[in-house]
Chain A
Amino acid sequence: MVPTLLAASILIFIIIELPEGDYISNQIAYLRSTGEQSSIEKLLYLRSEFALDRPFWQRYLIWLGAMPGPSGFNGLLQGYWGWSFEHQRPVIEVLGSTLPLTILLNFSSMIFIYAVAFPIGIYSAARQYSWGDHGFTLLGYIGLATPNFLLALLMMYFANRWFGLSIGGLMAPQFIGAPLSLEKVGSILSHLIIPTIVIGTSGTAAMIRRLRANMLGELRRHYVITARAKGMGETALLIKYPLRVAVNPFIADIGNLIPSMVSGSVIVSVVLNLPTVGPVLLSALKSQDQFLSAFILMFISSLTLIGMLISDLLLGLLDPRIRKVGFKFKRSNNQLSSHREDNNGVSPK
């Protein structure tokens, strides 16, 4: 995980540095064009203060904290997240309140995906080709095909119209700045319903399809026939045997699910005006506020990596085969399951 994170940090830094110039040199160019000379001096000083005049690899190492910058070792490794030029504040202050909400939103979407996909997937497999199965399959396809942000817009409108849920933002306006109370928490929770559903939809659709396919594969096995022949009840049979096998890839897929879910949460937050890192990232990218956007990308990637780690641990907990054989087997199992993923087609024989 640590090498992956390191490689991701290099990749992210390269991408962030791709556009020509940086925030301060853009400012300088702007001031020059307007004929203002006085504050250029200050900006040039700032440029050297943030080591923007050094070569690329040095800037990267200083940002990481592996090399002393103008103010000594002061980078990610030391816990300093950088300076936001656009907001004129440290990144930690700009992001402060948005980080917990981002985690909360992704976590609740995750719960939503599992809570919805699990029963529907089992139902669709147990009653294959029934009306319910066809209906859920159709819904799933439409969920996969609808752009997230438009779904957010539509749901916002209909939720307000039909259920009286208020629109956008994190809480009702009267609670902003008010001390924490039960009503405030309730308001926040009711505002989280729509984003959670919207972010969860595409993931849910994919999960249902996968669980259904896994279950169908298991239902044809001999042990199911044996159990049925011995007179076991259908529901008890379903839960006791095939489900336990079919659920493994389901857990392993968290690794595939999390990146797409985090992607979804960024754009949905922009549309719904939620104070997560999404809108901040968008404006930081547009204004070339490089340390801010680099840190947000780093944060999002570490979130996905931590999610993958949790999925690996869970898998070990659930599947005794993995626990016994250890790390090597787990890896190959992971690969198999990710090949079965719908969008990447081609299952190996």
Chain B
Amino acid sequence: MVSPPNNERPNSSPHENEDDYYLSKHPYQPQAKTSLAREQVALASASRWKLVYYRFKKHRLAVFALYTLLLFYLCVPFAEQIAPYSANTRNSDYLYAPPQSIHLFHEGKWQGPFVYPMKASVNLEFMRWDYEIETQKPMHLRFFCRGEPYKYLGTFKLDFHLVCPPENGVFYPLGTDRLGRDLLSGLIHGARLSLTLGLVGVAISMVLGVVLGGLAGYLGGLVDGAIQRLIEILRSLPELPLWMALSAAMPVTWSPIAVYLGLTVILGLLDWPGLARAVRAKIMALKQEDYAKAALYMGASPSRIIFRHLLPGFTSHLIASATLSIPAMILGETALSFLDLGLRRPAVSWGVLLNEAQSISVVVLYPWLMAPMLVVIIVVLAFNFLGDGLRDAADPYHH
């Protein structure tokens, strides 16, 4: 038991008076020491992944980013339920409608969430639509309701929605585009393609990077030289023009699904060099370790040594750098779709939505069409913070 602080002894020397000896007034806790030790033992014997988890948890911004992303990824499986409309539902009565604000109080009285109806009129002087809000009649939003029918997963006919427009009314919280399509619904449905595209692309780039980087690092010599040259060439080429050329090579007749897969392959094909270089450096360092040599002398095959013995040593690093390359892919898809080289309607992604916001007149007249930009920024930032947090946590034995 460690003696507590402030143990002032009454006399300067303990042996001056035999009867007067020091006694701690604090209670004796026999369990105290062992319980502390148990904690330490738990930390010392924790697996690598547990340590990574502990360190990641301390990075509050990264944890926040993770939850934000999870929220966005909810739109991937449940887009139809969350969105009030389908992505391509047109309403010719509401072209370029501005965002409707959601109110709670009508004439000072609590009403619950409701919107005021809008009425469109043509402004022939400026050639645009003017909307007048009629503030006499509040129209209540419906929740957990039955609305526009859809086919879930292509098979089940459902009409359940989280939120529906009021009866005989409309609900456009982010406004509509030139054909009267709801922007919020577009964003939610677009998340499905935009958010998965990066994941699939990174998966492709990771497979290529690990295999080629692993081969280069493990075999060395000629193979290493060849792969290194290839990486150098690919890295020296500007990405976007190559992406443009490759996506222009996709036939126009392809279905949206095929274009989507083609895009992921294009984004993945040009992204692997960075990962391959990192894998190569790691493998080269790790193959000098005793355990790798032991495996070699016991007759393990190269693929077994790489995947079974060396790769687990830096999987956390790989995941971190993969996370950091997702934003580039999301931005890449946005740029390609913006240039009409990527996805096209009826497929909806954030890039496709931004395609509407091509000219300066949109910024001036219909600024709400820029909303997908905010979403892109939030997601890209979240991936960056998450990746930074993962990278800091990836090496738990450091420091």
Partners in one complex: yes
A: which residues have CB within 8 A of B?
Answer: 3-4, 7-8, 11-12, 15-16, 18-20, 141-142, 144-150, 153-154, 156-157, 167-168, 255-256, 258-260, 262-264, 266-267, 270-271, 281-282, 285-286, 288, 293, 296-297, 300-301, 304-305, 308, 335, 338-339, 341-346, 348-349
User: CA A156 – CA B233 in complex, angstroms?
Assistant: 35
Residue of B235, B244, B373 ringed by the most chain A CB atoms within 10 A? B244
A288: which B residues are within 8 A, CB to CB? 248
Q: A264-B240, A348-B285 are in contact. Are A19 and B251 (CB under 8 A)?
A: yes
Closest partner residue, chain A, to B317 (CB atom): A346
- 11 A–B pairs (Cβ distance < 8 Å), ordered by A: A3-B229, A8-B233, A147-B373, A149-B335, A157-B363, A262-B241, A263-B238, A271-B358, A301-B237, A344-B274, A346-B314
Size bracket, chain B contacts? 35 or more
Q: Which residue of B242, B278, B360 is within 8 Å of A297 (Cβ)?
A: B242
Residue of B274, B328, B341, B357 ringed by the most chain A CB atoms within 10 A? B274
Q: Is the beta-carbon distance between B236 and A150 smaller than 8 angstroms?
A: no
Task: Decide if B275 is an interface residue (CB 8 Å cutoff).
Answer: yes
Which B residues between 319 and 349 are near A, CB-CB below 8 angstroms?
320-321, 324-325, 327-328, 331, 334-335, 338-341
User: CA A188 – CA B72 in complex, angstroms?
Assistant: 44
Interface of B is mostly: helix
Q: A150-B357, A259-B237 are in contact. List 16 more A-B contacts (CB 8 A).
A: A141-B381, A145-B327, A145-B380, A147-B376, A153-B357, A167-B360, A259-B236, A263-B238, A285-B341, A286-B248, A304-B237, A343-B324, A344-B325, A345-B324, A348-B281, A348-B285
Q: Is the beta-carbon distance between B335 and A148 smaller than 8 angstroms?
A: yes
| Distance of A106 from chain B, by nearest CB (Å) | 10
Q: Is the beta-carbon distance between A344 and B278 smaller than 8 angstroms?
A: yes
Q: Is the beta-carbon distance between A282 and B244 smaller than 8 angstroms?
A: yes
Closest partner residue, chain A, to B233 (CB atom): A7
Q: A147-B331, A345-B278, A346-B320 are in contact. Are A15 and B245 (CB under 8 A)?
A: yes
User: CA A153 – CA B245 in complex, angstroms?
Assistant: 24
Q: Is the beta-carbon distance between A18 and B249 smaller than 8 angstroms?
A: yes
Q: Which residue of A15, A270, A301, A345 is within 8 Å of B339 (Cβ)?
A: A270
A16: which B residues are within 8 A, CB to CB? 245
Q: Is the beta-carbon distance between B339 and A267 smaller than 8 angstroms?
A: yes
Q: A146-B377, A154-B363, A339-B278 are in contact. Are A263 and B324 (CB under 8 A)?
A: no
Task: Decide if B354 is an interface residue (CB 8 Å cutoff).
Answer: yes
Q: Is the beta-carbon distance between A144 and B246 smaller than 8 angstroms?
A: no
| Distance of B21 from chain A, by nearest CB (Å) | 48
Closest partner residue, chain B, to A285 (CB atom): B248
| Distance of A292 from chain B, by nearest CB (Å) | 12
Q: Is the beta-carbon distance between B277 and A281 smaller than 8 angstroms?
A: no
User: CA A281 – CA B237 in complex, angstroms?
Assistant: 15
User: CA A3 – CA B226 in complex, angstroms?
Assistant: 13
Task: Decide if B384 is an interface residue (CB 8 Å cutoff).
Answer: yes
User: CA A341 – CA B387 in complex, angstroms?
Assistant: 13
Q: Is the beta-carbon distance between A15 and B249 smaller than 8 angstroms?
A: yes
Task: Decide if B51 is an interface residue (CB 8 Å cutoff).
Answer: no
User: CA A266 – CA B334 in complex, angstroms?
Assistant: 15
User: CA A278 – CA B314 in complex, angstroms?
Assistant: 40
Q: Is the beta-carbon distance between A345 and B391 smaller than 8 angstroms?
A: yes
Residue of B339, B359, B363, B381 ringed by the most chain A CB atoms within 10 A? B339
User: CA A342 – CA B359 in complex, angstroms?
Assistant: 33
Interface string of B364-393 (1 = CB under 8 A from A): 100000100100110011001101000100
6 closest Cβ contacts across the A-B interface? A345-B321, A263-B240, A344-B274, A18-B249, A346-B278, A285-B248
| Distance of A100 from chain B, by nearest CB (Å) | 18
Q: A141-B384, A297-B241, A305-B236 are in contact. Are A344 and B277 (CB under 8 A)?
A: yes
User: CA A344 – CA B233 in complex, angstroms?
Assistant: 17
User: CA A260 – CA B239 in complex, angstroms?
Assistant: 7
A304: which B residues are within 8 A, CB to CB? 236-238
Task: Decide if B318 is an interface residue (CB 8 Å cutoff).
Answer: yes
A349: which B residues are within 8 A, CB to CB? 285
Q: Is the beta-carbon distance between A260 and B236 smaller than 8 angstroms?
A: no
Closest partner residue, chain B, to A344 (CB atom): B274
User: CA A24 – CA B269 in complex, angstroms?
Assistant: 30
User: CA A74 – CA B233 in complex, angstroms?
Assistant: 26
Q: Is the beta-carbon distance between A18 and B239 smaller than 8 angstroms?
A: no
Q: Is the beta-carbon distance between A260 and B274 smaller than 8 angstroms?
A: no
| Distance of A199 from chain B, by nearest CB (Å) | 12
Q: Is the beta-carbon distance between B245 and A301 smaller than 8 angstroms?
A: no
Task: Decide if B282 is an interface residue (CB 8 Å cutoff).
Answer: yes
A20: which B residues are within 8 A, CB to CB? 251
User: CA A258 – CA B384 in complex, angstroms?
Assistant: 22
| Distance of B280 from chain A, by nearest CB (Å) | 9
Q: Is the beta-carbon distance between A150 and B354 smaller than 8 angstroms?
A: yes
| Distance of B389 from chain A, by nearest CB (Å) | 12
| Distance of A209 from chain B, by nearest CB (Å) | 10
Task: Decide if B232 is an interface residue (CB 8 Å cutoff).
Answer: yes
| Distance of B291 from chain A, by nearest CB (Å) | 17
Closest partner residue, chain A, to B380 (CB atom): A145
Q: Is the beta-carbon distance between B360 and A339 smaller than 8 angstroms?
A: no
Q: Is the beta-carbon distance between B278 and A266 smaller than 8 angstroms?
A: no
User: CA A255 – CA B241 in complex, angstroms?
Assistant: 17
Which B residues between 184 and 234 are near A, CB-CB below 8 angstroms?
229, 232-233
Q: Is the beta-carbon distance between A145 and B242 smaller than 8 angstroms?
A: no
Q: Is the beta-carbon distance between B335 and A267 smaller than 8 angstroms?
A: yes
Interface string of B248-264 (1 = CB under 8 A from A): 11110000000000000
Q: Which residue of B232, B321, B381 is within 8 Å of A346 (Cβ)?
A: B321
Residue of B331, B340, B360, B381 ringed by the most chain A CB atoms within 10 A? B360
| Distance of B361 from chain A, by nearest CB (Å) | 10
User: CA A21 – CA B331 in complex, angstroms?
Assistant: 30
Q: Which residue of A3, A7, A19, A343 is within 8 Å of B328 (Cβ)?
A: A343
B364: which A residues are within 8 A, CB to CB? 157
Closest partner residue, chain B, to A305 (CB atom): B236
B232: which A residues are within 8 A, CB to CB? 4
User: CA A43 – CA B11 in complex, angstroms?
Assistant: 114
| Distance of B74 from chain A, by nearest CB (Å) | 21
| Distance of B349 from chain A, by nearest CB (Å) | 13
User: CA A144 – CA B325 in complex, angstroms?
Assistant: 12
